[in-house]
């Protein structure tokens, strides 16, 4: 693993019974990258993110974070440096402030200024005392981002972060995550939205039936893909 790799994946497999949902041979994610995986529903995208976060253990293969092999129980320092935003995040039935404060609280920390700062970054600072039950879908997704950011992780894993949101919130969330990436955060995102992937990615790959068909720089992947299946997917002709 070179110093620039933050993730290294070797012969990664995940099975549920006899069904193999992830089968990825060898890839790297570079430090500071915005790596986007596109693919149809059921391709294994969410499972792949859960494996990177080690919410699920691989059936076979290894994942390395900054040169350290992930294992169960996950090293606390690694755990704290990988935050994930789920497609359908869950929240405490309390205030916006308390939800963002919670990850700090479980680490024995208190930093009201940091909580207020990240809420401002996602443009819901004015909702700090509101209950989560009163927030819109877009506001809740931005709250999930703030909660992930407050612990200052090195990596953000994003699972379809703008699914079912209106154009205003899509644009706002894209701007937020791009700014985080420009500030040095490594981002790994999965989406079925090719147009969004083009707007955000510095590198990209296509996941089909649990296998990464092609991975490369965003420019190469979207403009001159080598695999015909990538071209078909990008142009809306996926029949595989």
Residue 149 is encoded by which pair of tokens? 């950011």
The fraction of the chain above a pLDDT of 70, given in percent, is 98
- Averaged over 126-141, what is the pLDDT? 96
pTM of the model: 0.94
Give pLDDT, residue 72: 87
- Averaged over 181-195, what is the pLDDT? 97
Q: Where are the domains of the chain?
A: 1-81+154-240, 88-152
- pLDDT tens track for 32-74: 999 999 999 999 999 999 999 999 999 999 999 999 999 988 8
Residue 188: C-alpha distances to residues 29, 76, 153, 165, 203 (Å): 8, 20, 13, 20, 10
Helix, strand, coil % (nearest 5) of the chain?
35, 30, 35
The CATH code belonging to domain 1-81+154-240 is 3.40.50.300
Residue 104: CB partners within 8 Å, gap ≥ 6? Answer: 110, 111, 114, 115, 150, 151
- Averaged over 203-209, what is the pLDDT? 96
């Amino acid at each position: 693993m070179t110093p620039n790799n933050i993730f290294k994946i070797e012969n990664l497999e995940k099975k549920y019974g006899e069904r193999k949902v992830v089968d990825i041979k060898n890839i790297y994610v570079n430090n500071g990258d915005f790596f986007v995986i596109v693919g149809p529903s059921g391709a294994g995208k969410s499972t792949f993110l859960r494996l990177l976060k080690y919410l699920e253990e691989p059936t076979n293969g290894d994942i390395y974070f900054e040169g350290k092999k992930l294992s169960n129980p996950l090293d606390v320092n690694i755990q704290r440096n990988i935050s994930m935003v789920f497609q359908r995040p869950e929240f405490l039935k309390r205030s916006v402030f308390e939800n963002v404060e919670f990850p700090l609280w479980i680490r024995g920390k208190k930093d009201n200024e940091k909580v207020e700062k990240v809420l401002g970054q996602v443009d819901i600072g004015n909702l700090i005392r509101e209950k989560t039950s009163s927030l819109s879908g877009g506001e809740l997704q931005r709250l999930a981002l703030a909660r992930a950011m407050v612990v200052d992780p090195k990596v953000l894993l994003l699972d379809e972060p703008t699914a079912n949101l209106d154009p205003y919130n899509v644009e706002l969330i894209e701007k937020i995550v791009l700014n985080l990436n420009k500030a040095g955060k490594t981002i790994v995102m999965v989406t079925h939205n090719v147009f969004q992937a083009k707007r955000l990615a510095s590198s990209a790959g296509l996941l089909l039936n649990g296998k990464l068909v092609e991975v490369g720089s965003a420019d190469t992947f979207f403009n001159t893909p080598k695999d015909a299946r990538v071209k078909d997917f990008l142009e809306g002709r996926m029949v595989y």
